[in-house]
C-alpha cells in the first residue's frame, strides 16, 4: 500500500510517500524560511503562493524517486488543519483534485495528530495509552491518549505557544527566524544560571501553560542592558530556554502523575530541542517513565507524518467526499471516535 502525503499548513511544503512494507520511501521538504526571513515571521499570502508553485513539481519528483506511477498509489493524505487557511487550501485542492483524477481516496489529516503519530516512525514506537506533549509554533498541549483517535485535553497554552515564544524571543535577541534552533544554538554558549527567569503557572495546580509573561520578562532583561554584549545575549537565551524546558518538564511530570500513565510521547517542532529532550529523559529515568519522540528530522513539519497518518486512517476505513474543506482551527478532541 502506498500513500502520498501533502503538508502545506504553514511555511514548509512537505511531500512524502509511505509504503506499508518499506516505511517512508520519500520525504521531501521545501522550507520557505528564506522567503519569510526579512519579515521576521511567516507572511501567510507569500506562504500560499509558494506552496502552489512547489506542490505539483514536488509530487512529480517524489513519484519519480519512489519509482511509482500514480496508479500504484492507494490514497492521498493532506493536512486539513489546523494552520494558515490559504496554505491549507493549496494542499487540500491539489490532493482532492489528484484523488478525483486518479480515482483514489483523499484523506484530510489533523496536523498535530500527524506530529504525534510521527513518534511511531522511530525505531521504538510507543504503545497506547500515553500522555502526548504537543509543542509547535502554533500549539502547546498536553493530551491523554487512551487509544487511537481518542484524545482528552489535559492542558494547553493560554497565550503563546512554546515555539512562538522561542520565535519572539529570538527576534528580541536579533536572531534569525525560525527562532527555536537559533536560540538553542546561542544558549549552548550561555550560562543558564546567570539570570533567574520565572517558570510560569508552575506554582499553581493545573496543566495549562502561559508563555507571554516569560516573554515580557525576557524583554525586560534584554532592555536592562544599554547594549547587550554577545555573552549577555547568550546568557539570556540560555536562561529563557531553561525556563521553558523546566516549565514543560514540571507540567509533563504532573500530567503523568494525574493520569497514572507511564508513557510520554513528545512531538512538534519544539520537540527537536535537545535540552528539552534531555530534561524529559532525565525525569523519565528518575520516575521510571518511558519517553518517545519522532526521529529528529521528523520533528518539524514534513509530509511523512501526514502520509503515515493517512495510511492509518485509510486502514481504519476513513473516507471523505469531494468538497474541499479545511479547518484553520481544529481541536484534536474532535477526532474522537
Q: Which partner, Zn ion, ligand KG4, none, binds residue 181 by CB below 5 to 8 Å per kind?
A: ligand KG4
Which C-beta is closer to ligand KG4: that of 104 or that of 168?
A: 168
Stretch of 156-164, 205-213, 254-262, 296-304 lying at the interface with Zn ion (CB under 5 A): 296-304
> Does 330 engage in binding with ligand KG4 (CB under 6 A)?
no
Burial class (CB within 10 angstroms; exposed 0-12, middle 13-18, buried 19+) of 196 = exposed
- Which listed residue (40, 70, 181, 331) binds ligand KG4 by CB under 6 A? 181
> Does 273 engage in binding with ligand KG4 (CB under 6 A)?
yes
Q: What is the rounded CA–CA span in Å between residue 181 and residue 185?
A: 6
Q: What b/e string do you get for 207-241 counting C-beta neighbours within 10 Å, with b at 16 or more?
A: bbbbbeebbebbeebbeeeeebeeebbbbbbbbbb
Q: In 3D, which of 67, 56, 90, 88 has the Cα closest to residue 17?
A: 67
Cell of 178: 525560525
Binding flags for Zn ion, 298-317, as an x/- string (CB under 5 A)? ---x----------------
Q: Binding to Zn ion (CB under 5 A): which residues in 216-275? A: none
> Does 270 engage in binding with ligand KG4 (CB under 6 A)?
yes
Q: In 3D, which of 121, 3, 145 has the Cα closest to residue 63?
A: 3
CA angle 297, 303, 309 (to 5 degrees): 105
> Does 303 engage in binding with ligand KG4 (CB under 6 A)?
no
Min dist CB 139 to ligand KG4, Å, is 7
Q: Torsion angle, CA of 245/250/255/260, rounded to 10 degrees?
A: 120
Q: Which partner, ligand KG4, Zn ion, none, binds residue 28 by CB below 5 to 8 Å per kind?
A: none
> Does 166 engage in binding with ligand KG4 (CB under 6 A)?
yes
> Does 268 engage in binding with ligand KG4 (CB under 6 A)?
yes
Strand order in the sheet with 290-292: 150-156, 140-147, 130-135, 263-267, 290-292
> Does 232 engage in binding with ligand KG4 (CB under 6 A)?
no
Which C-beta is closer to Zn ion: that of 296 or that of 315?
A: 296
Q: Torsion angle, CA of 200/206/208/209, rounded to 10 degrees?
A: 10
> Does 163 engage in binding with ligand KG4 (CB under 6 A)?
yes
Q: In 3D, which of 226, 240, 229 has the Cα closest to residue 168?
A: 240
> Does 160 engage in binding with ligand KG4 (CB under 6 A)?
no
Do residues 77 and 312 touch, judged by C-beta distance below 8 A? no
> Does 109 engage in binding with ligand KG4 (CB under 6 A)?
no
Stretch of 51-59, 123-131, 163-171, 280-288 lying at the interface with ligand KG4 (CB under 6 A): 163-171
Q: Binding to ligand KG4 (CB under 6 A): which residues in 39-98? A: none
Min dist CB 99 to Zn ion, Å, is 23
Q: Binding to Zn ion (CB under 5 A): which residues in 131-160? A: 136
Q: Binding to ligand KG4 (CB under 6 A): which residues in 113-152? A: 115, 136-138
Cell of 1: 500500500
Which C-beta is closer to ligand KG4: that of 268 or that of 310?
A: 268
Fill in the DSSP letter of residue 149. Answer: T
Secondary structure (H, E, C), 156-172: EECCCCHHHHHHHHHHH
> Does 169 engage in binding with ligand KG4 (CB under 6 A)?
no
Cell of 26: 520519500
Contact residues toward Zn ion (CB under 5 A) are 136, 301
Contact residues toward ligand KG4 (CB under 6 A) are 10, 115, 136-138, 163-164, 166-167, 178-181, 184, 268-270, 272-273, 300-301
Amino acid at each position: 500500500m502506498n500513500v502520498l502525503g501533502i503538508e502545506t499548513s504553514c511555511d514548509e511544503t512537505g511531500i512524502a510517500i509511505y509504503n506499508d512494507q518499506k516505511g517512508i520511501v520519500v520525504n521531501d521538504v521545501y522550507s520557505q524560511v528564506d522567503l519569510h526571513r526579512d519579515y521576521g515571521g511567516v507572511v501567510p499570502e507569500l506562504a500560499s503562493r509558494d506552496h502552489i508553485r512547489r506542490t505539483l513539481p514536488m509530487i512529480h519528483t517524489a513519484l519519480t524517486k519512489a519509482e511509482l506511477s500514480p496508479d500504484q498509489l492507494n490514497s492521498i493524505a493532506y493536512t486539513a488543519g489546523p494552520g494558515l487557511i490559504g496554505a491549507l487550501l493549496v494542499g487540500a485542492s491539489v490532493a482532492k483534485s489528484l484523488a478525483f483524477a486518479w480515482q483514489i481516496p483523499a484523506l484530510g489529516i489533523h496536523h498535530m495528530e500527524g506530529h504525534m503519530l510521527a513518534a511511531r516512525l522511530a525505531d521504538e514506537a510507543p504503545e497506547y495509552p500515553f500522555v502526548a506533549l504537543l509543542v509547535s509554533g502554533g500549539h502547546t498541549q498536553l493530551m491523554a491518549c487512551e487509544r487511537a483517535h481518542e484524545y482528552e485535553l489535559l492542558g494547553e497554552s493560554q497565550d503563546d505557544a512554546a515555539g512562538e515564544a522561542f520565535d519572539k524571543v529570538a527576534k528580541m535577541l536579533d536572531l534569525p527566524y525560525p527562532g527555536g534552533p537559533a536560540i538553542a544554538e546561542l544558549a549552548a554558549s550561555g550560562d543558564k544560571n546567570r539570570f533567574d527567569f520565572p517558570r510560569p503557572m508552575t506554582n499553581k495546580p493545573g496543566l495549562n501553560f502561559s508563555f507571554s509573561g516569560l516573554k515580557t520578562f525576557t524583554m525586560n532583561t534584554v532592555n536592562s542592558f544599554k547594549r547587550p554584549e554577545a555573552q549577555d545575549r547568550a546568557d539570556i537565551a540560555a536562561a529563557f530556554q531553561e525556563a521553558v524546558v523546566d516549565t514543560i518538564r514540571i507540567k509533563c511530570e504532573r500530567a503523568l502523575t494525574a493520569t497514572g500513565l507511564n508513557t510520554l510521547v513528545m512531538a512538534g517542532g519544539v520537540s527537536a530541542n535537545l535540552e528539552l529532550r534531555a530534561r524529559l529523559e532525565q525525569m523519565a529515568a528518575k520516575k521510571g517513565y518511558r519517553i518517545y519522540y519522532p526521529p529528529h528530522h521528523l520533528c518539524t513539519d514534513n509530509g511523512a507524518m501526514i502520509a503515515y497518518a493517512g495510511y492509518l486512517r485509510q486502514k481504519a476505513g476513513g473516507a471523505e467526499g469531494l468538497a474541499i474543506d479545511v479547518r484553520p482551527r481544529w481541536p484534536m478532541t474532535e477526532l474522537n471516535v
